[in-house]
Chains A and B, each alone.
Chain A
């Protein structure tokens, strides 16, 4: 809990594009002049399991791992994953949750239920909450793959990194031909 280190946790389901979103945050923080550490999940858990990525930036950062209860911003690309990993957020932190639903196979097999009251739960857990229809907005932009960058736009509202650094980071992390689309996605999220 080094006092001047900012921690961010992203949650979601393997394959949703968490790695890109976390790379962009890390890059933006680096461009802004901070030391950055970040951790991501590869391997087994990527096959459709729950995954998280952790980013920390500040003047002098040691551990790449975020302690539970200390993240300044917590975001989830899937609704119930937001609930599963909510305990990473600090009490006064910002939560960003995409309304996307991915039903786990365990539900289809009848060994679990996808809760029907997700919105109420989210509102109860998070004091400071932004809910985004990232998939819907991504559809409007013509490419569902940018849902993660829309969430990123909303995340940026809780972080003190200048707008230009975000744009620069996006340009450096996505293929050139998708840069414009991703910047529009980012703006859509930031203004949501």
Chain B
């Protein structure tokens, strides 16, 4: 027995299921699945960070069509990017097992939205499994592979933050030995989706769904009734099952582990055995609406919130409300009311800080993107104005430019995001004669999600040396003529280049080059000190928003927190009085 996080268990499940190929693009809360495969099972499983989720799924599709068992993982919004291959892969089906783990983030702990991936299973007409614990996370990958091969369909396994990042006991088993030979068997009527053949596939898809519906009614290891009190029956899936067991220990429960196709006869049987049905589901009211459509009376959204994540305390409140009582969840103590907030911040020594310090001084609109640099939107830097989705930092800048906005626009994104979906936007700017200024903050790593390699890092997920894709060269190949590399720790240079390019009527690409100090594991330089004699307490060094520089009461000289200072020297450069000096210590 081992204590594994859901993500570790998913990785283990892939190993035990005989998976030989795994592909993903990182995204919280899914990232650690492939990291674990790389750390523990790379001898048996080829694994890669693909540049984006669409590529990852297509790589997975290709591998599966040779008969291999394949795992593809992504966060919920990643499935938007991979939706195109998914929709048609449901038609062609797969030869070898293909499981896609999609990790939702109810409560938006680390995401830009809270979309419910269960909709995709219905939309794409593919089966969906929803584990409720680490033990099931492992098991459902294996069952998912069997379903995938039996019905020749991709299978989505839905995780949520609390599954992926919670640990629980898992019993380890042996690896099922994969086949020894792989190869694509030509069959155009099955794999070539020109309309004449796709129409036939469309019909087959409905037939498969019919067969799977029957199977989901008859799979007690996935969908089971736990009979107890007759007065209340709860229908639930995924992590909510565990909360239900804590909050309603005596209720009858229909636990759905295979939620699409929805096991209709099982639900009818359950409904016949209890007086009242309560549906508990996180996010959209998918189960509730479908159960009601079956003509079965149930309650759900009336008492259970559809915004944010469900937790045991939220459900305890719901339970009280249903019983006409009140349960007050203990709130933060009175003494916490005036505490200063502690939002996430750019780390000390972060190279992005130099670029935002310059942007903050310029009157521009900054179309931003998702990555550590999203934090440039918060005070005191406050210089990132939009975040939509990965890639939009470049394309939205072009849109504002073409709308003839009455202000200057700068688009900004990170290296991983550039490789993910920034290149096409840049190509658009060059092709359609835009004039935007684009900054790529190139720290040679995917930092926000915990430092994953990307095509610019020079290393693969499996730890091998490889190419270091050059953003400057890609920019030139797209046709951008004004391409510059800058050192973001040099404020004078950074501001000169950015300011010139903002005022140039041609597209420009500025690549801010400095590795993430956290990823390198080394401070940038010597720590700094504040010389109290020279300090005029003007507050400039605090405006760069570095956690390593601590300001005190009004009129007090700021001081450097030596535990945090990474020695980047930005504070020294913004100080007009020469009050910040270099320490001996690095």
Q: Which residues of A contact B (CB under 8 A)?
A: 1-2, 13-14, 26-27, 30, 35-50, 61-65, 67-69, 80-81, 83-88, 102-115, 121, 124-125, 144
CB-CB under 8 A from B521, the residues of chain A are none
- A47 in complex: contacting residue of B32, B346, B549, CB < 8 Å: B346
Asked if residues B344 and A49 are in contact (CB atoms below 8 Å), the reply is: yes
Q: Which residues of B contact A (CB under 8 A)?
A: 1, 3, 5, 28-29, 31-32, 109-110, 133, 162, 165-169, 242-243, 245-246, 249, 311-313, 316, 329-333, 335-336, 338-347, 372, 375, 379-380, 448-450, 539, 542-543, 545-547, 549-551, 553-554, 558, 561, 563-564
Asked if residues A65 and B28 are in contact (CB atoms below 8 Å), the reply is: no
**When A and B form their complex, which 8 residue pairs have the shortest distance between CB atoms, in order from nearest?**
A112-B340, A43-B110, A43-B28, A108-B551, A69-B330, A64-B166, A47-B344, A49-B344
30 sample A-B contacts, Cβ–Cβ < 8 Å, listed by A number? A36-B169, A40-B166, A40-B167, A41-B165, A42-B28, A42-B31, A42-B110, A44-B109, A44-B110, A44-B344, A45-B110, A45-B344, A47-B346, A47-B347, A49-B343, A64-B167, A68-B329, A69-B329, A80-B340, A84-B332, A86-B333, A87-B330, A103-B550, A104-B342, A105-B547, A106-B342, A107-B340, A112-B338, A112-B339, A124-B335
Asked if residues A64 and B162 are in contact (CB atoms below 8 Å), the reply is: yes
CB-CB under 8 A from A106, the residues of chain B are 340-343
Asked if residues B545 and A43 are in contact (CB atoms below 8 Å), the reply is: no
CB-CB under 8 A from B336, the residues of chain A are 83-84, 86
Asked if residues A109 and B379 are in contact (CB atoms below 8 Å), the reply is: yes
Cα distance A105–B332 in the bound complex, in angstroms? 22
Instruction: Tell me the nearest residue of chain A to B242, going by C-beta.
Output: A62
What distance in Å separates the Cβ of B350 from its nearest Cβ neighbour in chain A?
Answer: 9
Instruction: Tell me the nearest residue of chain B to A60, going by C-beta.
Output: B245
CB-CB under 8 A from B341, the residues of chain A are 104, 106, 111-112
What distance in Å separates the Cβ of A19 from its nearest Cβ neighbour in chain B?
Answer: 10
Given contacts A103-B550, A105-B545, A109-B380, contact A63 B344 (CB under 8 A): no
Given contacts A39-B165, A42-B32, contact A121 B330 (CB under 8 A): no
CB-CB under 8 A from B345, the residues of chain A are 47-49, 105
Cα distance A106–B380 in the bound complex, in angstroms? 8
CB-CB under 8 A from B167, the residues of chain A are 26, 36-40, 64
Instruction: Tell me the nearest residue of chain A to B7, going by C-beta.
Output: A42
Given contacts A30-B3, A80-B339, contact A111 B379 (CB under 8 A): yes
CB-CB under 8 A from B311, the residues of chain A are 65, 67
- A42 in complex: contacting residue of B1, B165, B329, CB < 8 Å: B165
Cα distance A87–B169 in the bound complex, in angstroms? 28
Asked if residues A111 and B249 are in contact (CB atoms below 8 Å), the reply is: no
CB-CB under 8 A from B29, the residues of chain A are 42-43
CB-CB under 8 A from A105, the residues of chain B are 343, 345, 380, 545-547
Cα distance A92–B138 in the bound complex, in angstroms? 38
Q: A36-B169, A50-B342, A84-B332 known; 14 other A-B pairs, CB under 8 Å?
A: A26-B3, A27-B3, A43-B449, A48-B342, A62-B245, A68-B313, A69-B329, A80-B339, A85-B332, A106-B343, A108-B550, A109-B380, A110-B542, A112-B340
- B313 in complex: contacting residue of A13, A45, A67, A125, CB < 8 Å: A67
Cα distance A112–B331 in the bound complex, in angstroms? 21
- A36 in complex: contacting residue of B3, B31, B249, B543, CB < 8 Å: B3
CB-CB under 8 A from A49, the residues of chain B are 342-345
Given contacts A38-B167, A86-B332, A109-B545, contact A65 B162 (CB under 8 A): yes
Cα distance A69–B32 in the bound complex, in angstroms? 31
Cα distance A124–B311 in the bound complex, in angstroms? 29
Cα distance A1–B313 in the bound complex, in angstroms? 10
Given contacts A46-B344, A108-B558, contact A68 B330 (CB under 8 A): yes
Given contacts A1-B246, A65-B312, A113-B340, contact A103 B333 (CB under 8 A): no
CB-CB under 8 A from A38, the residues of chain B are 3, 166-168
Asked if residues B339 and A84 are in contact (CB atoms below 8 Å), the reply is: yes
- B333 in complex: contacting residue of A39, A48, A83, A102, CB < 8 Å: A83
What distance in Å separates the Cβ of A124 from its nearest Cβ neighbour in chain B?
Answer: 7
CB-CB under 8 A from A26, the residues of chain B are 3, 167
What distance in Å separates the Cβ of A133 from its nearest Cβ neighbour in chain B?
Answer: 15
CB-CB under 8 A from B344, the residues of chain A are 14, 44-49
Cα distance A50–B336 in the bound complex, in angstroms? 13
Asked if residues B542 and A109 are in contact (CB atoms below 8 Å), the reply is: yes
Asked if residues A121 and B340 are in contact (CB atoms below 8 Å), the reply is: no
Cα distance A108–B342 in the bound complex, in angstroms? 11
Cα distance A104–B451 in the bound complex, in angstroms? 24
Cα distance A64–B5 in the bound complex, in angstroms? 11
CB-CB under 8 A from A86, the residues of chain B are 332-333, 335-336
Cα distance A86–B554 in the bound complex, in angstroms? 29
CB-CB under 8 A from B380, the residues of chain A are 105, 109
CB-CB under 8 A from B563, the residues of chain A are 144
CB-CB under 8 A from A102, the residues of chain B are 547, 561, 564
